Amino acid sequence: MTFSQVIQSDLTVLKKKMDSYKSLSKKQDEILEAQIRYEHVWSSNAIEGNTLKRYETTSILQTGLTSQGTPIKDVLETLDLNDAYNYMMDLVSRKQPLTQQVIRDLNRFVTAKTAKDLSAAARYRAILVWPNGLQNHPYVEPFEIQPAMDDLITWSRTAQKQLHPVQYAADLHQRFVSIHPFEDGNGRTARLLMNMALPQAGYPIVNIQPNAKERTAYMNALETSRISHDASQFENIIANYSVEALNNRIKTLALNEQNIKDADQDFDL
């Protein structure tokens, strides 16, 4: 299955529908964006093994309070990814093009307080690594990382203009993970890169859910695409998340618009 014209059309139609509604008030928009950020920090960390529950992550980011017995590492990962997310959204607001410096900076934020070797943050790895249990399918050889990252940036400049925005975001994620350039934080950095690309094109953030079923489908699709050089399975997973995010935003905007009309009618009475 490819990223078909049907999928592209469905996404484009939903985006046009979303764009047709009035914007939320500034306060409502800030609250919604904060909720999406909390969701991202929780879900992206949980995919990597962070044990915090959603409400615990939200509590840390809203109030700075933690539950008794909360692992320090999990708290630090939460603070790091929150900072990285805020930096990503700042890049979006400034329409920052993708560069290796941007990618390094995102990884530096992601691992700022938790990297085993803090001096190695944002530094390309010098050793061979592979997914758990797949030693026969290692990631890119260390000496090939720099050329692969050069190619990634070159590819992105063309692909961002030629591909559907959701397909581009998915492919950027997939290609970066296949390189796996850093010692730590590659998955979280990849999901930030994907979510940098989506709002740059006017699409909502998507958050991969960490429950066993969805995490397994996500991880398997990434690995299948890396080995087969066919990203279609992974692209379709991200497309489904985008459809869900668009529909959720449309429902929120439609309700807000109806609430405005109801209030205006009551005032006229």
Written as one letter, the residue type at 160 is: Q
Q: Please list the helix, strand and coil fractions of the chain in percent, rounded to the nearest 5, in that order.
A: 70, 0, 30
* Structure tokens that stand for 1 in this block: 């299955």
Angstrom distance (rounded) from CA 77 to CA 63: 16
Which of 51, 184, 34, 49 lies closest to 108, judged by CA?
A: 184
Q: Which residue has the tokens 């390189």?
A: 179
Angstrom distance (rounded) from CA 97 to CA 160: 10
Which of 15, 14, 20 lies closest to 201, judged by CA?
A: 15
Which of 84, 110, 88 lies closest to 98, judged by CA?
A: 88
Written as one letter, the residue type at 43 is: S
Our separate counts of H helices and E strands in the chain read 10, 0
Whether 180 is a known active-site residue: answer yes
Cα-flanking dihedrals φ and ψ of residue 72, to 5°?
A: -60, -40
* Structure tokens that stand for 149 in this block: 């990252």
Which residues define the annotated binding site for ATP?
A: 184-191
CA 11 to chain centre: 18
Q: Which of 40, 164, 173, 180 is catalytic?
A: 180
Active centre residues (catalytic)? 180
